[in-house]
Amino acid sequence: MKLLRDQYGFSLLEAVVALAVLAMSAMALYGWLNSNLILLKRVDDVYQSAEVVESALEWISVLDPFADPSGEREIAGALVRWTAVPVGNSLQARDMNGNRSVNDAQLFRVQVEIHRGERRLAHFEVMQLGLQPRRQVEELIF
């Protein structure tokens, strides 16, 4: 019987080596895809948190600290808690010409916490100006 050196096809050993290389390549690709999906989830969480914080900040900017010195409210699917603490004494508010106003002005330090479920999304502090009517228009001398 004569052995032919010019055989066509793969031997069993070549097929096993090819499958092993293919399996290692597939595992590396799976690991890369998995890490990218995890990173994408983190980016999405940060983006959603930023939207909630922005919405809460816009709402806090129109908050009247005299009327609502503390409380909580649901905004964009998150619970926003705030506490406003006066800074210094209240002063008579003045208009652009320096004349007395009907309001007193008070600066407040507002501490804000934002929670979604058990997870705290953000904690920040803003300074807010509060105006409180103290005088009648008739009391002012122009």
Contact criterion met (CB below 8 Å) for 75 and 59: yes
Bin 9: left if φ > 0, else alpha if -120 < ψ < 50, else beta. left
| Tens-digit pLDDT string for the chain (142 aa) | 555 566 677 788 888 999 999 999 999 999 999 999 999 999 998 888 888 889 888 988 888 898 889 999 998 889 999 999 999 888 888 778 877 788 888 999 999 999 988 889 889 999 998 888 877 776 666 5
Token pair in block for residue 89: 């004494």
133's tokens: 């009517």
pTM of the model: 0.64
What's the pLDDT score for residue 74?
A: 93
Amino acid at 120: R
Q: What does the domain layout of the chain look like in residue ranges? A: 12-139
How high is the pLDDT of residue 98?
79
pLDDT of residue 70: 93
